[in-house]
Amino acid sequence: MIDATSLRRALILTTALAACAVPTASGRIAVAGPRVDATSDAEARRLQGATQTLAAELSAAARCGTDRFGACVAPALRHGGIGGRTTAMLARVVMADAPVGPGRTYLFGLQAANDAAGDEARWLLPLLYGPGRRRHQHEIASQLALAGGMLRRAARAGAGGCMPESRALATRT
């Protein structure tokens, strides 16, 4: 059964696609999406760098010793919560202008990984200060290691360049 929200979404999508439809020489209708430009690639590379930096910080915090654990881990959790959410939001903005293809898929992966890492860090931070914080140290360290690895893999997924079409465009101009 289709509910009203799904129907509205389908109508909006259909309207957006119809607005971008362009007749081709063969008489078929093609959808003219956003064009790849050098800016999209540069923005994707900046997001990749931010993701790698956050991954390194979370992974380093996962290796903190038990003495002064809170002082060692708290900055990484704060940066992970704020940086993960911000990078995910910026990836969504860049993704909106990227055409469907490998570049957009890469940006979607960056967005998802940063969003998840940010949520994880915001969830772990209260455990650091709550009752039984000593018993939560192992859980916090292991979750930070997992989040750091996830971000590292997401950033490496586009190591060959997010949008190769934009490099060709930049060399032509």
pLDDT digits (tens, 9 = 90+) for 71-126: 999 999 999 999 999 999 999 998 888 888 888 889 999 999 999 999 999 999 99
- Looking at every residue in the chain, the average pLDDT score rounds to 78
CATH number at residue 140: 1.20.120
The owner of tokens 């059964």 is 1
92 with 12, same domain: the answer is no
58 with 19, same domain: the answer is no
Angle at 95 between CA 91 and CA 100, to 5 degrees: 145
pLDDT grade for 146, boundaries at 50, 70 and 90: very high
User: Which of the pair, 83 or 27, is modelled with greater confidence?
Assistant: 83
Average pLDDT rounded to a whole number, residues 124-132:
86
Q: Is the pLDDT of residue 164 over 50?
A: no
Chain segment 48-86, per-residue pLDDT in tens: 999 999 999 999 999 998 888 889 999 999 999 999 999
28 with 65, same domain: the answer is no
Q: How far apart, in whole angstroms, are the C-alpha atoms of residue 55 and residue 117?
A: 9
Q: Which domain holds residue 123?
A: 38-172
Q: How many domains does the chain have?
A: 2
58 with 125, same domain: the answer is yes
The beta-carbon contacts of 30-37 under 8 Å, at least 24 apart in sequence, are 33/99, 33/100, 34/96, 34/97, 34/98, 34/99, 35/99, 36/98, 36/99, 36/103, 36/163, 36/165, 36/166, 36/169, 37/166, 37/169
| β partners of residue 30 | 22
Average pLDDT rounded to a whole number, residues 149-173:
64
125 with 80, same domain: the answer is yes
